[in-house]
A and B are shown apart, each in its own frame.
Chain A
C-alpha cells in the first residue's frame, strides 16, 4: 500500500451531473507516484467523466482535487498539461500525413533564431524521445506509414515530451493493439513507473489489469465501488464488483417473471443455426420463443452487440442460417427485419437511435412509417395519437409531442426510442443496453416494461452490462465471451456460475 504522502493526485467527493445523468456521485480517487492505477467499469460507469475532470475538460460540480499536496482546480486541458498531467486518448489523434517528428513536436518545434524550423534539431529531439521508449524508427517518415502500435507509441511520446510530466493517463491504449504490441507498451509503462511516473490506465481487458496494474479502482453507475490492491483481488471478485449486485427489493419483479415464464410459447419464433460473421463473431446457435426474455450477458466487447446486429440485419452473416416463423431469412437489413416483426433498440442512443432535430412525434413514428413505405403516410392526426399514447404509457416527460427530441433528457430520449419500436409492434424486440446512462427509476420502469411485453407474447432479447439487471428480467441467459457464445443458463440460475462463465476458465 502506498503511503498517503506518496500520493500525487487525491480527488475527493467528486460529483458531476450532466443533463439527465448523474455521471459521478461522490467519487474519491487517489494516485501515487510510481504506480500503475487501473480504472475499470462498464460503459457509463463514469471512467471517462472522471478522467475528463482530471484533465480539465470538464469541471466537477462538487469535490476537491489535490495535486502534489496542494488543493487546486484544474481549469482547462492546457492547465492540466502545465501541471504535468498528460493524456493519451483511445483514438490516436495525431496527423497521419505529417512525419513522426512533426507530430511529436508540433507547437513546440525548435526554431532557428526565432525564424523557421530547425529541422535537424526537430528530428533529433523526436528520435531521442522515441528511443527512450525503446522505439527506433525513421522519424522523418509520415506517421501514417507505421503500424497502429507505433502510432500509439508516438502518441505516448508526444504526451511525455511535455516537460515535467508527472501523471500519464492512458485511455484504453490497447484496444487496437496486438498481443505483442501490448506487451511492448507494458514494458514502457513499467519503465516509466520505475522512474516515478504515476500512470492511470483505463481498460476493459481484465487480463491487462492483472498484468500491469498495482491498484485498481472500480466504478459502477457513477459511484465508486472501491479501490483495491490488484494482487489481493480475485478475478471473480473483480467482475462481481464491476457488474454489481444491488440488494434492492426485487421480489415483486422476480415473482412476476416466474409467473410470466408459464406463458412462454413452445414454438420457436426465431432460430439461428451456426450464424456467424468472420472476424466479428463466431458462429452461434440461438432459438427465441414468443413470450420469453433472453438475456445476453458478458463484458464489453464480448460480442453481445454483434449478436444483436446479426439478428436485426445490420450485418449480414457469412455462415449459418436464420429461420423466422419457419421461413429462412434472406433479406438482412433493418427494413427487412421490421417487415418480419423484428426490432432493435440500439446501443448508442445518440448515434444510432435519436434523430435529434426531429420532434418526439416524428421520432416515435419513424420505424412504423419506414415499415409502411414511402407512399402510405401515417396522417398527422394518427401520428399524434400514437405519440401521445406512448408518451403516456412510458411516462415520457416532454411539454408536447412536437418538442424536438434533442431537448429531452437522456432517459426520456431512450424512452422515445423504445416507443419507436413498440409502435412498430414487434414480435421480437432486441434491446441493446436500454438502460445505459439512465437514472434508477427509469431503469426499473424499462425492466418492468420488458417483462410485461413478454407476458403479452413478445419475444425479447435483453442485453445489459449490469448482471443483476439481466438476472432480474431474463428467463434464459446466454453468456458471451471473446466474441463467441459460451453457454446458456435457464431455470434457476446461479449468479456465481454466470460470473464464472463470463470470466472464463482462468479464474
Chain B
C-alpha cells in the first residue's frame, strides 16, 4: 500500500501536467482569498461575463499560438516570427475586406461605412487566404531551418523583423478599419461563451488529433530527442520540421484573424507584438523543454497559456497598472525557471518517499 502511494506520487509528479496545473490552482486559490468576487460569473443577455471568462478570452490567442509553438519547440527549435505572422495575416484579411487603401477603385467607397455586411472579397476567402499566407510564412521558416540548416532562432528572426514591414506594405501603412459585423464576430462574438474560445478549443482538438491520431507526434518527439537516430530509423526529419513550422504559421494566422477582428482594425505595428514571447513562455510553463525539445504536451501548453493569462488578469484586478504588466511576466519567468530546475523536481519527487519513510518509521 505504502509503496503504491509513493509510486502514485512519483507518477503524478513526473507527469508533464503536474506543475502547470498546480501553478494554475495556486494562483486561483490566491485570487479567491485576495480578490473578492474574482470568481463571480454573470449571465447578461445570454452572455457570460466575469474574470474567469476574461481569462479565457484574452488567453485564447496565446493558447492558439502555443499549439503551433509546442510542435516547433518539441523539434528542438523555436519560432520568433509568430507575432509578425499574426500581423501579416491581419493585414491580408483587412485588405481583402477593404482594398481601397492599396489603390483599388471601388464604385462607392461609402459602402464600407454604410453597409455593415460589405466586404470586397467573399468572407470565406477573407479567412482562408490569410491562413494560407500564414502557413506559407511558416513553411519559409521551416525551409530555412530544415533545408537551410540555419539556427531556428536566427532563421525565424528574419521573418520576425521583415514580417511587420511586409504587413505594413500590404496595407500601405494605413490602419484599415473594419465595419463588417460578421467578420468582427470572430473576435467579439458570443455564443454563451466568447466565440474565440471555441476557435481555440477546435484548434486544440485538431492539433491533438493531427499529432496523436497520426504518427506525427511520435516523429516530432523523436526528431527533437535525437534527430540522427530518427534519420537512421527512416524518419524524414526535415519534413517533420517543415510541418511543425508550417503548422505554427497556420496557428499564428488564426491568432492574427482573431485579434484583428477583436480590435476591428489592421494595426500592423501593434498586432501580435511580443506574443511570440508569451507563446514560448506558455509552452515552457507547459513542460516542453525549450532548446532541447523532445516530449511535448499540448494540454500542458494550453494550461501554460492560462497560467500566464490568469496571472495577468489577477494582477490587473488586484490593481497593478497595465503598464507594469511586463514586470509581472518577468516574475512568472523567474518562478518558472525556479520551479523547473532539476533540484526542485528532485525535491518534489522526494516528498513522496519522505512521507513513505515517515510511515515506515511509525
Q: How far is the CB of B208 from chain A (nearest CB, A)?
A: 13
Contact between chains at A358 and B236 (CB < 8 Å): no
Q: How far is the CB of B14 from chain A (nearest CB, A)?
A: 10
A243 proximity list for chain B (CB < 8 A): none
Contact between chains at A370 and B294 (CB < 8 Å): no
Q: Which of B215, B226, B294 contacts A369 (CB 8 A)?
A: B215
Q: Which of B215, B225, B235 contacts A377 (CB 8 A)?
A: B215
Q: How far is the CB of A425 from chain B (nearest CB, A)?
A: 13
Contact between chains at A374 and B216 (CB < 8 Å): yes
Q: How far is the CB of B91 from chain A (nearest CB, A)?
A: 32
- How far apart are the CA atoms of A319 and B234 in the complex, in Å? 23
Q: Known interface pairs A352-B228, A354-B229, A377-B214. Does A335 touch B235 (Cβ–Cβ under 8 Å)?
A: yes
Contact with A along B208-241 (1 / 0, CB 8 A): 0000011110110110011011111111100000
A362 proximity list for chain B (CB < 8 A): 218, 222
Contact between chains at B232 and A344 (CB < 8 Å): yes
Contact with B along A343-377 (1 / 0, CB 8 A): 01010000111111110001000110111111111
Q: Quick check: is B295 within 8 A (CB to CB) of the other chain?
A: yes
Contact between chains at A355 and B215 (CB < 8 Å): no
Contact with B along A320-349 (1 / 0, CB 8 A): 000000000000011101100000101000
Contact between chains at B226 and A337 (CB < 8 Å): no
Contact between chains at A377 and B213 (CB < 8 Å): yes
- How far apart are the CA atoms of A378 and B222 in the complex, in Å? 16
Contact between chains at B225 and A420 (CB < 8 Å): no
A366 proximity list for chain B (CB < 8 A): 218, 222, 230, 233, 235
B226 proximity list for chain A (CB < 8 A): 351, 354-356
Contact between chains at B225 and A375 (CB < 8 Å): no
Contact between chains at B295 and A374 (CB < 8 Å): no
- How far apart are the CA atoms of A329 and B236 in the complex, in Å? 18
| Closest partner residue, chain A, to B222 (CB atom) | A355
- How far apart are the CA atoms of A375 and B231 in the complex, in Å? 18
Q: How far is the CB of B227 from chain A (nearest CB, A)?
A: 10
Contact between chains at B221 and A367 (CB < 8 Å): no
Q: How many A-B residue pairs have CB under 8 A?
A: 73
- How far apart are the CA atoms of A446 and B134 in the complex, in Å? 51
Which residue, of A356, A362, A369, has the highest number of chain B Cβ atoms within 10 A?
Answer: A369
A367 proximity list for chain B (CB < 8 A): 233-234
- How far apart are the CA atoms of A371 and B216 in the complex, in Å? 13
Which residue, of A356, A374, A375, has the highest number of chain B Cβ atoms within 10 A?
Answer: A374
Q: Quick check: is A83 within 8 A (CB to CB) of the other chain?
A: no
A356 proximity list for chain B (CB < 8 A): 225-226
- A interface, how many residues as a size bin? 20 to 34
Chain B interface residue count, Cβ-Cβ cutoff 8 angstroms: 21
Q: Known interface pairs A355-B222, A357-B221, A357-B295. Does A314 touch B232 (Cβ–Cβ under 8 Å)?
A: yes
Q: How far is the CB of B274 from chain A (nearest CB, A)?
A: 31
Q: Known interface pairs A357-B295, A358-B222, A366-B235. Does A352 touch B214 (Cβ–Cβ under 8 Å)?
A: no
| Closest partner residue, chain A, to B224 (CB atom) | A357
Q: How far is the CB of A228 from chain B (nearest CB, A)?
A: 39
- How far apart are the CA atoms of A346 and B218 in the complex, in Å? 21
Q: Known interface pairs A366-B218, A377-B214, A377-B215. Does A346 touch B225 (Cβ–Cβ under 8 Å)?
A: no
A375 proximity list for chain B (CB < 8 A): 214-215
Which residue, of B214, B215, B225, B230, has the highest number of chain A Cβ atoms within 10 A?
Answer: B215
A346 proximity list for chain B (CB < 8 A): 232
B10-53 CB contacts (< 8 Å) to partner A? none
- How far apart are the CA atoms of A366 and B222 in the complex, in Å? 9
Contact with A along B221-265 (1 / 0, CB 8 A): 110011011111111100000000000000000000000000000
A276-315 CB contacts (< 8 Å) to partner B? 314
A344 proximity list for chain B (CB < 8 A): 232
- How far apart are the CA atoms of A60 and B239 in the complex, in Å? 46
- How far apart are the CA atoms of A367 and B222 in the complex, in Å? 11
Contact between chains at A374 and B215 (CB < 8 Å): yes
- How far apart are the CA atoms of A367 and B213 in the complex, in Å? 18
B152-184 CB contacts (< 8 Å) to partner A? none
Contact between chains at B234 and A338 (CB < 8 Å): yes
- How far apart are the CA atoms of A370 and B218 in the complex, in Å? 10
Q: How far is the CB of B134 from chain A (nearest CB, A)?
A: 22
- How far apart are the CA atoms of A338 and B234 in the complex, in Å? 7
| Closest partner residue, chain A, to B221 (CB atom) | A358
Q: Known interface pairs A374-B214, A374-B215, A377-B215. Does A334 touch B222 (Cβ–Cβ under 8 Å)?
A: no
| Closest partner residue, chain A, to B236 (CB atom) | A335
Contact between chains at B232 and A334 (CB < 8 Å): yes
Contact between chains at B230 and A355 (CB < 8 Å): yes
B231 proximity list for chain A (CB < 8 A): 314, 334
Q: How far is the CB of A433 from chain B (nearest CB, A)?
A: 14
Q: How far is the CB of A331 from chain B (nearest CB, A)?
A: 11
Q: How far is the CB of B56 from chain A (nearest CB, A)?
A: 31
A355 proximity list for chain B (CB < 8 A): 221-222, 225-226, 229-230, 233
- How far apart are the CA atoms of A371 and B235 in the complex, in Å? 8
Q: How far is the CB of B361 from chain A (nearest CB, A)?
A: 28
Contact between chains at B215 and A372 (CB < 8 Å): yes
- How far apart are the CA atoms of A351 and B225 in the complex, in Å? 11
| Closest partner residue, chain A, to B223 (CB atom) | A355
B219 proximity list for chain A (CB < 8 A): 369-370, 374
- How far apart are the CA atoms of A346 and B226 in the complex, in Å? 14
A and B contact pairs by CB, cutoff 8 A, 14 listed: A334-B234, A338-B234, A346-B232, A351-B226, A351-B229, A354-B226, A355-B225, A355-B233, A357-B294, A358-B221, A366-B235, A370-B219, A375-B214, A377-B214
Top 4 A-B residue pairs of the complex, sorted by shortest distance between their CB atoms: A370-B234, A338-B234, A334-B234, A335-B234
A353-B232, A374-B215, A377-B213 are known contacts; what are 13 more A-B pairs with Cβ within 8 Å? A314-B231, A334-B232, A346-B232, A355-B221, A357-B295, A358-B225, A362-B218, A362-B222, A366-B222, A372-B215, A374-B219, A375-B215, A377-B215
